[in-house]
Amino acid sequence: MTGRKIGILALQGDFAKHEAMLKSLHVDTLLVKKAKELDACDGLVIPGGESTTLTKLMRLYGMYEPIREFSLTRPIMGTCAGMIMLASQVDDERITPLQLIDISVKRNAYGRQIDSFISEVKLPFLANDSPFRAIFIRAPQITAVGSDVEILLELDKKPVMVRNRNILALAFHPELTDDSRIHRYFLENFSA
Amino acid sequence: MEKERFETNVGLAEMLKGGVIMDVTTPEQAKIAEEAGAVAVMALERIPAEIRKAGGVARMADPVIIQKIQKVVSIPVMAKCRIGHFAEAQILQQMGVDFIDESEVLTPADETNHINKHAFKVPFVCGCRNLGEALRRIGEGAAMIRTKGEAGSGNIVEAVRHMRQVMREIRELTISGEDELMAIAKKMGAPYEWVKKTAELGKLPVPNFAAGGVATPADAALMMQLGAESVFVGSGIFMSTDPKPRAHAIVQAVAHYDDPEILLRISSGLGEAMPGIEMKDLPPEQRLQERGW
């Protein structure tokens, strides 16, 4: 873990929460706003935020190809809007996803803010499976997964956390909790 | 409001960080805002500059206007209710708005009390001019704070004053001894627990956005550099001569607030900003920021 630098896409969203979480794990971080800043990073986090805004700013600042290229050799984690951006398909033409993990995603699948919720879940892929407080905020839903995608966690029989070789995608927000297990899982199980 | 609800509500405010929340009055404007990259829209019957011109009592918008806007955009939709008018807030919650702004831009309904926001599921944002006011609103359950500035003025001076005031008071808290905090809480008229929490964190316990007078990309960048975590733009976009490019530019200015090279490029050739009002031409009784207690 030490010596690696994790970039956090900082165009919009709760990037500061991811930064704080990674710093608490003594990980070097870099807030990424320009493509060339990716060169210094060994991994990338795409935070929660608004996926329409992320689409707009990633397009304007030429982030799509550089992030796709980055993903060939380095891991990426996306939470909520970050997951939407990583998906292969999104139910909304306003979004241009990166298509780095073979999942279909539905935006705002649970409704409006009044329907946001917290659910205590078990993390079966970890040795320590004490309950994790999964925070879902105007959350997206994974409606289909491809054959090379592993489902790590389900809620009400729907996948909410998935991975492939080097991409980790979650519908909820571990960065809003004090529980660092999911960030550690990313750091320890995803490498070049 | 139970603890979990407060957590998801502050969580939504976290997601809006580094973004621009734009005032809109029609579905067409809402679409322009979303396309420009706004993180949320504030659905209104009139924008603050028009409210100022019209005079009289300004109330919650007609639900039909808000519903039309909810239909066309996928980003969060906010709406304003009058200070202390919890029945308007109940109606807005029933409509499923994503955030309620208990706003000094509308005519206050209660000259003593703000809404008990703990009684609601939907999150609230409230304005402040200083830390005491911010912490009173958080004590009442607000999940987001914005500086008031002077809405509809097109003049950034009051937003700067309020942001500097809040940030200075937070800095002062961080160098105060724990045994001084009760006296400070008493002096600023703020709940002790939240004063203590702010001193520990060295920042507001909920996201701290800027509002009231932002008219240019440079105004937005200024507020971000002063410590705002996002920016509300009320009249500044749709009162300008060419709203679309200005909306695009302000979104980029917030994302790249500390990059003068980008700020220069996006500030160029935007047409005329909204006409502004000098504060000396605005007597205290016409200042919206004076509303709220």
Q: Name the least confident of A9-18, A154-163, B49-58, B177-186.
A: B49-58
Give me A88's structure tokens: 């292969």
Reported ipTM: the value is 0.95
pTM: predicted TM-score of the whole model, two decimal places? 0.96
A114 and B93 in contact by Cβ < 8 A?
Answer: yes
B98 and A113 in contact by Cβ < 8 A?
Answer: yes
Q: Which three-class secondary structure state does DSSP give residue B42?
A: strand
pLDDT of A120 strictly over 90 = yes
Which residue of chain A comes nearest to B5, CA vs CA?
A117
Task: Report, as an integer, the average pLDDT of A140-162.
Answer: 97
At a CB cut-off of 8 Å and minimum separation 6, what does B49 contact?
B152, B153, B154, B234, B235, B239, B274
Which residues of chain B are within 8 Å of residue A49 when distances are taken between CB atoms?
15-19, 39
pLDDT of B123 strictly over 60 = yes
Does the annotation mark A173 as catalytic? yes
User: Is B101 in the A-facing interface, judged by CB distances under 8 Å?
Assistant: no
The proportion of chain A whose per-residue pLDDT surpasses 90, expressed as a percent, equals: 95
- What is the domain count for chain A? 1
Structural domain harbouring A169: 5-189
Residue A106, min C-alpha distance to chain B (Å) = 12
Residue A192: pLDDT band with limits 50, 70, 90: low
Q: How far is CA A125 from the centre of its chain?
A: 17
Which residues of chain A are within 8 Å of residue B9 when distances are taken between CB atoms?
113, 116
**So what's the pLDDT on residue A90?**
98
Task: Give DSSP secondary structure letters for B129-196.
Answer: SSHHHHHHHHHTT-SEEEE---TTS--THHHHHHHHHHHHHHHHHHTS-GGGHHHHHHHHT--HHHHH
Which residue of chain B comes nearest to A80, CA vs CA?
B15
Q: How far is CA B43 from the centre of its chain?
A: 13
Evaluate whether B154 touches B274 at the Cβ level (below 8 Å).
yes
CB burial of residue B122 (10 Å; 0-12, 13-18, 19+):
buried
Residue A72: pLDDT band with limits 50, 70, 90: very high
Residue A129: pLDDT band with limits 50, 70, 90: confident
Backbone dihedral angles phi then psi of residue B91, each to the nearest 5 degrees: -65, -45
**So what's the pLDDT on residue A191?**
80
Task: Report, as an integer, the average pLDDT of A177-187.
Answer: 97
CATH number at residue A38: 3.40.50.880
Backbone dihedral angles phi then psi of residue B262, each to the nearest 5 degrees: -70, -40
Catalytic residue among A18, A19, A41, A80: A80
B11 and A173 in contact by Cβ < 8 A?
Answer: yes
pLDDT of B240 strictly over 80 = yes
Give me A20's structure tokens: 């704080």
Among candidates B4, B74, B252 on the partner chain, residue whose Cβ is nearest the Cβ of A118 = B4
B251 and A50 in contact by Cβ < 8 A?
Answer: no
pLDDT of A77 strictly over 70 = yes
pLDDT of B268 strictly over 80 = yes
Among candidates A17, A60, A113 on the partner chain, residue whose Cβ is nearest the Cβ of B12 = A113
Among candidates A10, A15, A50 on the partner chain, residue whose Cβ is nearest the Cβ of B75 = A50
Please write the tens of the pLDDT for every residue from A49-67: 999 999 999 999 999 999 9
Which residue of chain A comes nearest to B12, CA vs CA?
A137
Q: How far is CA B6 from CA A165, B88, B192, in A?
A: 36, 20, 19
Measured CA to CA, the distance from residue A9 to residue A30 in angstroms comes to 9
SS3 of A148-159: the string is CCEEEEEECCEE
Among candidates B14, B34, B38 on the partner chain, residue whose Cβ is nearest the Cβ of A176 = B14
A113 and B9 in contact by Cβ < 8 A?
Answer: yes
Q: Name the least confident of B63-77, B190-204, B266-280.
A: B266-280
The alpha carbons of chain B give a radius of gyration, in whole angstroms, of 18
Please write the tens of the pLDDT for every residue from B79-113: 999 999 999 999 999 999 999 999 999 999 999 99
- How many interface pairs between A and B have CB atoms less than 8 angstroms apart? 109
Does the annotation mark A18 as catalytic? no
Task: Report, as an integer, the average pLDDT of B70-87.
Answer: 98
B11 and A13 in contact by Cβ < 8 A?
Answer: no
Q: What is the amino acid identity at position A61?
A: Y
Among candidates B19, B99, B259 on the partner chain, residue whose Cβ is nearest the Cβ of A113 = B99
**So what's the pLDDT on residue A89?**
98
Catalytic residue among B17, B68, B80, B280: B80
The DSSP H or E segment spanning A58 is helix A51-60
Nearest one of B142, B198, B144 to B167, comparing CA atoms: B198
pLDDT of A1 strictly over 80 = no
B255 and A12 in contact by Cβ < 8 A?
Answer: yes
At a CB cut-off of 8 Å and minimum separation 6, what does A9 contact?
A15, A32, A44, A45, A46, A47, A54, A63, A67, A82
User: Could you give the residue ranges of the DSSP H alpha helices within chain B?
Assistant: 3-15, 27-36, 48-54, 63-72, 86-94, 131-139, 157-174, 181-188, 192-201, 217-225, 235-238, 243-255, 260-267
Does the annotation mark A80 as catalytic? yes
How many C-beta neighbours within 10 Å does residue B45 have?
18
Which of A17, A21, A53, A95 should be substituted to probe chain B, the one whose Cβ sees the most B Cβ atoms within 10 Å?
A: A53
Give me B286's structure tokens: 């016409």
Q: Are strands A101-106 and A141-145 parallel, antiparallel or unpaired?
A: antiparallel
Evaluate whether A12 touches B252 at the Cβ level (below 8 Å).
no
User: Is B170 in the A-facing interface, judged by CB distances under 8 Å?
Assistant: no
At a CB cut-off of 8 Å and minimum separation 6, what does B191 contact?
B135, B136, B138, B139, B185
